[in-house]
Amino acid sequence: MDDLVKEFLVESYENLDRMDRDFVELEKNPSTETLGSIFRAVHTIKGTCGFLGFNKLESVAHAGESLMSLLRDGALKVNQPITDALLAMVDAVREMLASIESTESEGERDDSALIARLGALQRVEAAPAASATSAAPDSQPADTDTDLANLSLEELDRLMEARARTPADPAGESRLGEILVQRGQTTMKQVDQALEEQDKGDPRRVGEILVQQGAAKPADVVEALQSQGEGRAVSDSTVRVDVGLLDKLMNLVGELVLSRNQIMQYAVSQEDATFAATSQHLNLVTGELQEGVMKTRMQPIGNVWNKFPRIVRDLAAACGKQIRVEMEGAETELDRTIIEAIKDPLTHVVRNSVDHGIENPETRTAAGKPAEGRLLLRAFHEGGQVNIEITDDGGGVNADKVREKAVQKGLINADQAARMSERELVNLIFLPGFSTAEKVSNISGRGVGMDVVKTNIEKIGGSVDVQSKVGQGTTLKVKIPLTLAIIPALMVTTGGDRYAIPQVSLLELVRLEGQQAKKGIEMVHGAPVYRLRGNLLPIVYLNGVLALNDRGQSSGGAAKNQAKHAGMSLDFESARYKHLLWKARLRAFLDGREALSEAQAVDHTQCDLGRWLYGTGLKEYEHVPAIHELERAHAELHSVIQQIVKLKHGGEKQAAEQAMAQVEPLSQRIIDLITEVEQKAIEAGVTNIVVLQADDRQFGLVVDGINDSKDIVVKPLGKHLKGITAFSGATILGDGKVALILDVIGISQSANVVSESREKTIATAAASSQEANGERESLLVCRFGADGRVGVPLSLVARLEQFQVSAVERSGEQEVVQYRNEIMPLVRLSRVLGENGAGAENKDILDVVVYREHGKSVGLVVEQIADIVEERITVKAERHGGHLLGTAVVQGKVTDILDVRSAIDSVNPDYLAQAEAA
């Protein structure tokens, strides 16, 4: 296709889009400026298509232009029929443009009806046209900006003065004239005349002269000046570039980043100073180039939203509803490809809101809502992602109806439905084949929309979620990653391979060593969790998710492997147990209670322990002397056992018993050695946890090792691998090897971290583990007074000790006792609670509850211990003051629960506070 035609199409589409927006704006807020903008757009289209020979297009545009001209001059007022007709013209023009695009001709069409309609509207309400000769144009439509209605020539003059950029610039002047001519508001001849006047020494400006000669209207001149000002600012500083070229640049930059990474990797091992400097420079420049090119692909989301006012207007009118569109953050920028991908989904959602979400005016007013519905579009950057929200204040999504419909359509079963939370139910609308609309209109309701929306958004790596309140409205939230191509990532190792984790999902890194590594990960209802600053973090094992077994090959049973990798490579506990079991069996055999064949007394390389030893154990722990001794002892044991069995079978009972006597010390030694190796394994063990964010949830990913972090180029996975949810792409590392990029959301889903029910489980576990509520608690119950009972929560306590009264010394006013190389202050409970327990002072031995915090111990002296109970405690009636947490029913009796910390603080306020601050 001809370049000229191509450009014409691109520009015209833009103009049409602008016209759409302007028309909607016009209905709400008629202003000369908007009218002028629309007029110019139509005029430009008319002019160019005439030049290119598109006659049908020209006639339609011409009819529109004439109508626009009357509107702009104030001869006609804007009303709905006019707007409708003009929008119809816009649509007709669009159709013809589309036809030109595909067939290079306007196609067979007859727009005479449209043209007639536009013409008819021109004749209605023809008010007296503004006389061109008067200085002040009369009968303007109500407009709010620059009050052109009553400008005198002097004021006009000042305006022009203020707006002209370079006052005495003749080039600037003739442009003004050109603009006016272009717009058909004056003729070239007039402009020439005016310029001549100027040359002759007339001090007035072109615009002034023209107005005074009656060759142009003041309104036109002012507008021309305005656009001149804008035009220069905008058009000089932008350039049209073919999108294909930008994509190509993007690819090249991506390759450059890869090479840069390789050079940087190589540079590390090089001594040459020049090379180092040059490669560093290359690094910087590439980084900036990358940023720059990525910016070129960014477009404001407003470009997509701008179509919505028109769509909403038309739809609302068709449905008989009143809806206004509000936009926040239209300038938020997104990568071009993302915009392309979300255009349709967003449109569908908007149409849904209008069609099904927002109710008609009667229903709304009956419900106490304003008759006009509100559709709010919001966009903002947050956490490396673009958030887009579409909110309506309509009827909301009825969770019950959704549940019914889903069960009815067989999308879920009744069981599942009963267990789902409201939020989960509402999100069911994303299932394929779902729609609760009673009527299927040609707008929406066919049940193919929302799942396509979700798929399309997830395809580009985003997520979508819907929240709703019945009667109040619905909000759809979309989150999309900022850029697709080059992202910062953290490299980790698991199962011998490297993987990349996008930094945008990364919250923090936790490293557990030795004892912490073993104990740090606790089990709550069968699920591994880690206590991160008080909150329970669900744990996922990467080698479990990827189903890697010891030999590093993929196999099924991810869950099974997960549990396996939670421990060491040998289950020491199990090894000890099995050994003892065998010993018992051997004994029973000798006593004649059990049968044992020679074949069953296997060789030392064949039993579980043996296989582990000769498989990986000896290698892994070769630096641990205990393992070598273990090997020897173990081999010896096996040979003795074989001997025993043989002897017994041979009838030599006595000899067998003698051999058995050897077994006992051997066995003991083996148990000890296993424990020793286990200890070493624990100490050497390191657990790396990568704390990640998926949607709104956090979880910890356990990996073998953590490497460096770097920028990587995201390359898409081929079609064979696209379906694997754990991976979102691949990249080439500095050494040329390929590494897979983990899809954080995919992993969290497959490990079931993100389901709400599990979240609740963890939440309750967390809650109960933090307070003495609802879970079994150990409580030390003390009597005091007549029938008072106080419970001291033992979960907070390190030990129960007993001291001789004589061991109690004084440090100043504070009673203390020497305890484990510390001087530990004592706090007498009876004093704290304000009671003097009878006979408490007469004991020789003090029962002390040692409370430990921040490395310091405090002893709580309790008297008259009634009992130590383990019960489910529910603290009721939170009482503050009196050093009590509240009251609970323990063993059927009312018991106050002590606030240990408060009690301690009352006696020695600074002690623990100091320790905390230290």
* Chain centre to alpha carbon of residue 523: 27
For strand 697-703 and strand 535-541, is the pairing parallel, antiparallel, or unpaired? parallel
For strand 521-524 and strand 697-703, is the pairing parallel, antiparallel, or unpaired? unpaired
Query: Which residue, 354 or 540, has its beta carbon nearer to other proteins?
Result: 540
The nearest distance, CB 530 to other proteins, in angstroms, is: 24
The nearest distance, CB 829 to other proteins, in angstroms, is: 58
Residues 504 and 357: beta-carbon distance below 8 Å: no
Phi and psi angles of residue 160, each rounded to the nearest 5 degrees, phi first: -65, -35
Query: Which residue, 435 or 731, has its beta carbon nearer to other proteins?
Result: 731
The nearest distance, CB 537 to other proteins, in angstroms, is: 24
Query: Which residue, 708 or 844, has its beta carbon nearer to other proteins?
Result: 708
Sign of dihedral through CA atoms 466, 470, 472, 473?
positive
The nearest distance, CB 251 to other proteins, in angstroms, is: 10
List the structure tokens of 137: 């144009």
Burial label, 167 (beta-carbon count in 10 A; 0-12, 13-18, 19+)? exposed
Query: Which residue, 721 or 763, has its beta carbon nearer to other proteins?
Result: 721
Residue count at the site for other proteins (CB under 8 A)? 25
Residues 204 and 168: beta-carbon distance below 8 Å: no
Query: Which residue, 589 or 727, has its beta carbon nearer to other proteins?
Result: 727
Binding mask 440-479 for other proteins (x = CB under 8 A): ----------------------------------------
The nearest distance, CB 254 to other proteins, in angstroms, is: 9
Residues 872 and 776: beta-carbon distance below 8 Å: yes
Does position 23 interact with other proteins (CB under 8 A)? The reply is no
Among 178, 497, 636, 704, binds other proteins (CB under 8 A): 497
Residues 60 and 72: beta-carbon distance below 8 Å: no
The nearest distance, CB 221 to other proteins, in angstroms, is: 56
Residues 390 and 476: beta-carbon distance below 8 Å: yes
Stretch of 10-18, 236-244, 713-721, 847-855 lying at the interface with other proteins (CB under 8 A):
713-721
CA atoms within 13 A on the CB side of 95: 13
- Binders in 367-396 for other proteins, by CB under 8 A: none
* Chain centre to alpha carbon of residue 247: 27
Residue 707 DSSP SS3 = strand
- The amino acid sitting at 657 is E
Burial label, 64 (beta-carbon count in 10 A; 0-12, 13-18, 19+)? buried
The nearest distance, CB 740 to other proteins, in angstroms, is: 6
Residue keyed to tokens 């697709």: 484
The nearest distance, CB 569 to other proteins, in angstroms, is: 19
Query: Which residue, 546 or 792, has its beta carbon nearer to other proteins?
Result: 546
Q: Which residues pair with 554 in a beta bridge?
A: 548
Residues 761 and 524: beta-carbon distance below 8 Å: yes
Query: Which residue, 43 or 565, has its beta carbon nearer to other proteins?
Result: 565
Residues 576 and 670: beta-carbon distance below 8 Å: no
The nearest distance, CB 554 to other proteins, in angstroms, is: 5
The nearest distance, CB 717 to other proteins, in angstroms, is: 8
Query: Which residue, 374 or 715, has its beta carbon nearer to other proteins?
Result: 715
The nearest distance, CB 492 to other proteins, in angstroms, is: 14
Binding mask 672-711 for other proteins (x = CB under 8 A): ----------------------------------------
The nearest distance, CB 712 to other proteins, in angstroms, is: 12
Non-local (6+) Cβ contacts of 618 within 8 A are 627, 628, 631
Give the separation between CA 891 and CA 884, rounded to whole angstroms.
19
Give the separation between CA 590 and CA 80, rounded to whole angstroms.
105
Non-local (6+) Cβ contacts of 72 within 8 A are 32, 35, 36, 39, 219
Among 339, 740, 873, 884, binds other proteins (CB under 8 A): 740
- Binders in 199-258 for other proteins, by CB under 8 A: 255, 258
Helix axes 32-52, 3-28, angle to 10 degrees: 160
Q: Which of 767, 768, 793 is nearest to 780 (CA)?
A: 793
Give the separation between CA 759 and CA 257, rounded to whole angstroms.
40
Can you list the positions of beta strands (E) in 207-305?
Answer: 298-300
- Binders in 715-734 for other proteins, by CB under 8 A: 715, 717-721, 724, 726-727, 730-732
List the structure tokens of 361: 């005016």
Phi and psi angles of residue 181, each rounded to the nearest 5 degrees, phi first: -65, -45
Query: Which residue, 105 or 555, has its beta carbon nearer to other proteins?
Result: 555
Helix axes 572-590, 625-649, angle to 10 degrees: 20
* Chain centre to alpha carbon of residue 362: 39
The nearest distance, CB 747 to other proteins, in angstroms, is: 11
Does position 839 interact with other proteins (CB under 8 A)? The reply is no
Query: Which residue, 552 or 650, has its beta carbon nearer to other proteins?
Result: 552
Query: Which residue, 97 or 548, has its beta carbon nearer to other proteins?
Result: 548
Residues 639 and 647: beta-carbon distance below 8 Å: no
Residues 760 and 525: beta-carbon distance below 8 Å: no
Query: Which residue, 559 or 797, has its beta carbon nearer to other proteins?
Result: 559
Query: Which residue, 303 or 549, has its beta carbon nearer to other proteins?
Result: 549
- Binders in 602-621 for other proteins, by CB under 8 A: none
- Binders in 529-558 for other proteins, by CB under 8 A: 546-548, 554
Query: Which residue, 439 or 720, has its beta carbon nearer to other proteins?
Result: 720
Query: Which residue, 99 or 261, has its beta carbon nearer to other proteins?
Result: 261
Q: Which of 754, 291, 251 is nearest to 482 (CA)?
A: 291
The nearest distance, CB 498 to other proteins, in angstroms, is: 8
Query: Which residue, 207 or 502, has its beta carbon nearer to other proteins?
Result: 502
Q: What is the end-to-end Cα distance of the chain in Å, rounded?
A: 78
Query: Which residue, 159 or 726, has its beta carbon nearer to other proteins?
Result: 726
The nearest distance, CB 754 to other proteins, in angstroms, is: 18
Give the separation between CA 188 and CA 401, rounded to whole angstroms.
69
Binding mask 253-272 for other proteins (x = CB under 8 A): --x--x--------------
Give the separation between CA 315 and CA 495, rounded to whole angstroms.
56
Q: Which residues pair with 778 in a beta bridge?
A: 870
Does position 739 interact with other proteins (CB under 8 A)? The reply is yes
Query: Which residue, 592 or 718, has its beta carbon nearer to other proteins?
Result: 718
The nearest distance, CB 731 to other proteins, in angstroms, is: 8
Residue 788 DSSP SS3 = strand
The nearest distance, CB 168 to other proteins, in angstroms, is: 58
The nearest distance, CB 730 to other proteins, in angstroms, is: 5
For strand 814-819 and strand 809-811, is the pairing parallel, antiparallel, or unpaired? antiparallel
Binding mask 553-582 for other proteins (x = CB under 8 A): -x----------------------------
Binding site for other proteins (CB under 8 A): 255, 258, 495, 497, 546-548, 554, 715, 717-721, 724, 726-727, 730-732, 736-740
